């Protein structure tokens, strides 16, 4: 999965990543579905280890344009995980109470505790993306937030949290197709919002904002992965594989309590 990790933030360009890429799976969707079953079982075992050992914490950040598949990724990749150890937080338009505090105030209560996985469906990055595109705060203010974000993530990592950040990368044509599906398919119409059409008009502004955000916050301790997401099955495979590989690297072990003097009668 190294080819999708942003190694040098200062040189990052979205155009260097192909949203149609499916190069790691020559067998296409059928191969992805076959491998997904194995990865699902591995993730189930690894999460149980994480929860039992209670030494590590994992934060997954999902960002992307409208229709890029944040909900779908959670549904398909995390489906085998035990809800007892997983928390999903969705960050929408800030409330009045949240706006009365610093922009990271609403984020911190949702970071994972020991043995837990937290998934951010959108995140603190909205405050350097949406806020920037719509000019909701002065330029100087949102520019300072890159540093604040890096400092927050550094602090979380220093206290045992592993952070994975995924930018689900789709093309403008693919977004157009998915928005049409939301209008035309009754089962998907509930997802459609008129505002999505207005946001689409700002496509180039959003691409620039994402590119800058990733450039400024692609750190060694909190890496970004740019996931080709035009093919949903490939998107799911990449995210699941990175998650599995990351959990494996933790080299977790089940705790072994002292039971030498325990007698069950």
Q: If 0-12 CB within 10 Å is exposed, 13-18 middle and 19+ buried, where does residue 101 land? A: exposed
Cβ(191)–Cβ(182) below 8 Å = yes
- What does residue 225 show for φ and ψ, rounded to 5 degrees? -120, 130
Q: Indicate the domain borders of the chain.
A: 2-249
The sheet carrying 57-64 orders its strands as 86-90, 117-121, 57-64, 161-169, 224-228
**Residue found under tokens 């909205």:** 126
Q: Report the number of secondary-structure helices (H) and strands (E) in the chain.
A: 9, 5
Digitized pLDDT (tens) for each residue of the chain, 265 residues in all: 789 999 888 899 999 999 999 999 999 999 999 999 999 999 999 999 999 999 999 999 999 999 999 999 999 998 888 888 999 999 989 999 999 999 999 999 999 999 999 999 999 999 999 999 999 999 999 999 999 999 999 999 999 999 999 999 999 999 999 999 999 998 888 888 888 999 999 999 999 999 999 999 999 999 999 999 999 999 999 999 999 999 999 999 999 887 777 878 7
Q: Domain 2-249 adopts which CATH fold?
A: Rossmann fold (3.40.50)
Q: What is the CA radius of gyration of the chain?
A: 20
Cα angle for residues 204, 210, 211 (degrees, 5° grid): 90
- Rounded to two decimals, what is the model's pTM? 0.94
CA distances from 145 to 33, 102, 186, 192 (A): 40, 10, 40, 31
130 alpha carbon, distance to own chain's centre: 17
């Amino acid at each position: 999965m190294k080819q999708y990790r942003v190694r040098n933030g200062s040189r990052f360009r979205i155009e260097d990543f192909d949203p149609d890429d499916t190069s790691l799976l020559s067998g296409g969707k059928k191969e992805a579905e076959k491998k997904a079953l194995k990865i699902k079982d591995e993730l189930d075992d690894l999460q149980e280890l994480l929860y039992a050992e209670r030494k590590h914490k994992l934060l997954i950040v999902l960002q992307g344009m409208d229709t890029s598949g944040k909900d779908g990724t959670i549904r398909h990749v995390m489906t085998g995980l035990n809800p007892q150890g997983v928390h999903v937080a969705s960050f929408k338009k800030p409330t009045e109470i949240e706006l009365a505090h610093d922009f990271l105030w609403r984020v911190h209560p949702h970071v994972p505790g020991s043995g837990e996985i937290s998934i951010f469906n959108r995140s603190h990055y909205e405050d350097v993306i949406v806020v920037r595109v719509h000019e909701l705060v002065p330029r100087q203010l949102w520019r300072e937030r890159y540093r604040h974000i890096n400092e927050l993530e550094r602090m979380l990592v220093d206290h045992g949290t592993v952070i994975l950040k995924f930018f689900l990368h789709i093309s403008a044509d693919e977004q157009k197709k998915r928005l049409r599906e939301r209008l035309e398919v009754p089962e998907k119409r509930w997802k459609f919002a008129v505002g999505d059409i207005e946001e689409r008009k700002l496509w180039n502004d959003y691409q620039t904002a994402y590119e800058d955000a990733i450039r400024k916050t692609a750190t060694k301790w909190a890496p970004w992965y740019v996931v080709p997401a035009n093919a949903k099955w490939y998107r799911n495979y990449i995210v699941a594989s990175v998650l599995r590989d990351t959990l494996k690297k933790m080299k977790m072990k089940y705790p072994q309590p002292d039971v030498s003097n325990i007698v069950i009668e």
